[in-house]
Amino acid sequence: MTRLITIGSLAALFFSSTFVLNRAMSLQGGHWVWTASLRFGFMLIFLIALLLITQGKKALKDVKDIFLKHWMFWILSDSIGFGIFYSLITFSSQFAAGWIIATTWQTTILATPIVLIFFGRKVPTKGLLLTGIIFIGIVLVNIEHAALTSLREVLFSALPVLIAAFAYPIGNQLVWEARMGQNPRIPKINHPILENGFARVLLLTLGSLPFWFLLLAITSPPPPSSEQLLSTALVALLSGVIATTLFLYARHLCIQPYEIAAVDATQSMEVVFSLIGEIIFLGGAFPGPLGMIGVALTIIGLIAYMKMQAT
């Protein structure tokens, strides 16, 4: 369990770059659709190169074969787990600071047990009180945000993140169920290449591409600036490749549902990392008393949750 928590926390550190850099691009006037879609375009390039360098052409052929054999599954799961999730996260960055989005995003800790139950998995109930504490912390942060801005700003920043908090574990769980092969409604996908983290993320990225093309066609955003291109490339590398590979690797090691819940819970560390990053790189202000209490409750709830799940 300690190994899973360590890998998950390291992933949270790299994931936090998303919230800081997305907020920076929003403040610079970059369109949120390019912020979202370009990340996955760069991820596709990085992952193909990394897999080719580390595993050779055969690995790319294996990924292609697995994708084409189950293309409907990959498009469905990845449009939910990558497309809906990340498009809503980037949309929200227009209306709130990165650390506020990161804190609200911790709702996924509450969403994960619900998603597991939906898939027919048993979830220990002993952590429900602690997830409630985490949720209270999230509410306090958004109450402070509302006091400083407006209800409209809070709704446009919080509601999309709440939806994203369910989309991400749903997409990930679909892939986990496919690997386990125990759900008759989901194809069993068992291939040695899936043990490679880069290959797994590449499959997820490929499946999300139709979503991004459709979103670009619907919104027709103005061309991105050179600064936005550079920032999205950095997000793609730090969060899309490194963090996602670490996180999915930790999830891949999980055998029991409570281990999945514990790994997903490590994402709460993104709150601290995002807050520190925004203060250092964007000159952001420290949260007020209510916000600090909310952040503290979120982190305390996470620590207690992990200790309880480990016992």
d(CA 129, CA 304): 10
289 pLDDT band, cuts 50/70/90, is confident
Model pLDDT for residues 122-181, shown as the tens digit of each residue = 776 666 677 778 778 888 887 887 777 777 888 888 899 999 999 999 998 998 899 888
Model pLDDT for residues 169-193, shown as the tens digit of each residue = 999 899 889 988 888 889 998 888 8
Question: What is the rounded average pLDDT of the residues 263-282?
Answer: 81
Model pLDDT for residues 109-125, shown as the tens digit of each residue = 778 888 988 888 877 66
* Residues 96, 157 contacting (CB under 8 angstroms): yes
User: How much is the CA Rg of the chain, to the nearest whole Å?
Assistant: 19
- What DSSP string describes the chain? -HHHHHHHHHHHHHHHHHHHHHHHHHHTT--HHHHHHHHHHHHHHHHHHHHHHHH-HHHHHHHHHHHHHTHHHHHHHHIIIIIIHHHHHHHHTTTS-HHHHHHHHTTHHHHHHHHHHHTT----GGGHHHHHHHHHHHHHHHHHHHHHS-HHHHHHHHHHHHHHHHHHHHHHHHHHHHHHT--TTS-----GGGGSHHHHHHHHHHHHHHHHHHHHHHH-PPPPPHHHHHHHHHHIIIIIIIIHHHHHHHHHH--SHHHHHHHHHGGGHHHHHHHHHHHHHH-PPPP-HHHHHHHHHHHHHHHHHHHHHH-
* Residues 250, 11 contacting (CB under 8 angstroms): yes
